[in-house]
Amino acid sequence: QVQLVESGGGSVQPGGSLRLSCAASGDTYTINSMGWYRQPPGKEREAVAIIETRGGRTVYADSVKGRFTISQDNVKNTVYLQMNSLNAGDTAMYFCVTCRTDQGDLCLQRISRVTFWGQGTQVTVSS
């Protein structure tokens, strides 16, 4: 089992920035990819960004490319999501996820590849 604890959500005005963190514990040796999904109000969950934990390769959803940056601290088993130029469309519950696959694209494109979910942290972008 892997436990994921997110932090860093909150409310921000359009154009602002937030940084999310996710700390993993437990069977962290099973993690090959890690990152973030989100669920906007009334919509289905969608992938945001994934990092391949061994090689550091990153992949992003088209909607966040150029604005969001995912990074990791392998010593702390923690991933971060720096979110800049936020807009109302980014309002969602953000979930930290892990995948067994070491192919970040699969973790990003196939929700069925997600093995563990965090409890979520709310991000609200509003003026």
37-61: pLDDT as tens digits = 999 999 999 999 999 999 999 999 9
pLDDT at 114: 96
Angle at the Cα of 91 (from 122 to 114), degrees rounded to 5? 65
pLDDT at 62: 97
pLDDT at 17: 98
CA distances from 17 to 54, 75, 124 (A): 27, 25, 11
pLDDT at 47: 97
Ranges of the chain with pLDDT below 50: none
Facing residues of 31 across strands? none
pLDDT at 113: 94
- Residue 75 contacts by C-beta under 8 Å, 6 or more apart in sequence? none
